[in-house]
Amino acid sequence: MAELVGNVLVGQSGGPTSVINASVAGIITEALNHECIEEVYGSLNGVLGILQEDLIDLAAQSQQQIRALKYTPGAALGTCRYKLKKQQDFERVLEVFKAHNIRYFFYIGGNDSQDTADKISKLAQQQGYELRVIGVPKTIDNDLSVTDHCPGYASAIKYIATSVREVACDNEAMGQGDLVSIVEVMGRSAGWLAAGAALAKRRDHPHDPPHIILLPEVPFNQEKVLEDIRRTLKREKFCQIVVAEGLVDADGNYVAADGSTDAFGHAQLGGAGDILADIIENGIPGVKVRVARPGLLQRCAAHAASKTDADEAFLAGEAAVEAAINGETDKMVTLVRGDSDQYKSETGLVPLSDVANSVKKLPREWINEDGISMNFQFLRYAQPLIQGEIAIPHDNGVPVFARLEKSRVDKVLPAYEV
């Protein structure tokens, strides 16, 4: 295979995670090991930055900043939810790639983003422009079907499990038989995040909080849930509930749909916790309900991130560069779990076309028959992912995160209207 000499472009897309920047760090670190790679650029705000030729020089960043990326939440390059639609947009992307001799394109994102990467790659092939495109997975939703798990998921559930265990201490102290505490977590179509709250339970303590996990996979049955709550209040004096924002009723309708949609046509949700609180207050007179909705904190709470997750995100970035250097293209890096009892993950590769828009469901057989708790299969899957803590440097009592120098790459093309 002929060596492909040229420049690297990295982009980040979709909602950030606590560890998406670790993948950028992995890509930069590995790219600098290869002489065929001349420049390492980042596009600001994903494909938007490509369309607008807003590129920065990543090789110019200090070592210190690259290292800090490993624990910096958000997306240091900026991200976007812009979806390339027009053929003209795709043509523009290639025009920009050609203008800056981009021969390696690494796109870090979820399934919509991998779909975009796939289309860019195919267009380059059609046009005979040699380009290697490798996707790097990220999403706290853990809904990419081709990988054992997604970088970003583990840190989100470590934060959720940590928070639930802490709130449980508070609830237990206050509980006198009438306290219900709800934590509303993200999870539009799958209960991966809500399920993660089960990690707050001690081993062999099934009655530990969270007492009730309400998943999108299990249609909401008001009478059953009220009965579950009454039983828990009797036994534990408080009842801690974790509810996924995407909870659905028996007809498959979102309990908390607000009628609007986002740029990708997905229903916008919010307030499942508050709606549930109303139902409980009406259904169990005299009960007090407290609702916490950590919202975006779930995907950026670096102070409770998983070291395993950050390490894997970095590894996935490195693996993407290695694959491209080895001639692979139109693939996404995956995380593959070893067969041994001792958890170990390696990276793999799958065609981008296998990734796009497929959704990984939380296996129904990992949910206990009660419909409100997770069994050992889920715990065996999730527990290894949240191991290890990251000591983030603090200054003046708050964490200090990376800030990339925005050393702009000179624009060479006329402006483009997005």
Residues that bind its own copies (CB under 8 A): 12, 15-16, 45, 48, 72-81, 158, 161-163, 165-174, 176, 181, 199-200, 203, 270-271, 274, 290-297, 299-304, 306, 383, 386-389, 391, 394, 396-399, 401
The DSSP element (H or E) to which 55 belongs, if any, is strand 55-57
> Quick one: 270 or 348, whose CB is closer to its own copies?
270
Estimate to the nearest angstrom the gap between the alpha carbon of 388 and the chain centroid. 18
> Quick one: 169 or 413, whose CB is closer to its own copies?
169
Q: Quote the least distance from Cβ 297 to its own copies, whole Å.
A: 6
Q: Quote the least distance from Cβ 148 to its own copies, whole Å.
A: 17
Peptide bond connecting 210 to the previous residue in cis, omega within 30 degrees of 0: yes
The Cα–Cα gap between 372 and 215 comes to 8
Residue of 141, 148, 309, 311 marked catalytic: 141
Picking from 137, 109, 72, the residue whose alpha carbon sits closest to that of residue 301 is 72
> Quick one: 398 or 415, whose CB is closer to its own copies?
398
Phi and psi (nearest 5°) for 41?
-105, 155
Q: Quote the least distance from Cβ 149 to its own copies, whole Å.
A: 14
> Quick one: 219 or 388, whose CB is closer to its own copies?
388
Q: Token pair for residue 289?
A: 């309900």
Q: Quote the least distance from Cβ 103 to its own copies, whole Å.
A: 26
> Quick one: 208 or 328, whose CB is closer to its own copies?
208
DSSP per-residue letters across 250-281: TTS-BTTEEEEE-TTSPEEE--HHHHHHHHHH
Estimate to the nearest angstrom the gap between the alpha carbon of 248 and the chain centroid. 22
By DSSP bridging, strand 55-57 and strand 102-109 are unpaired
Q: Quote the least distance from Cβ 328 to its own copies, whole Å.
A: 28
In terms of Cβ atoms closer than 10 Å to its own Cβ (0-12, 13-18, 19+), residue 169 is exposed
Q: Is 262 a catalytic residue?
A: no
Angle between helices 307-325 and 20-31 (to 10 degrees): 40
Provide the annotated active-site residues.
141
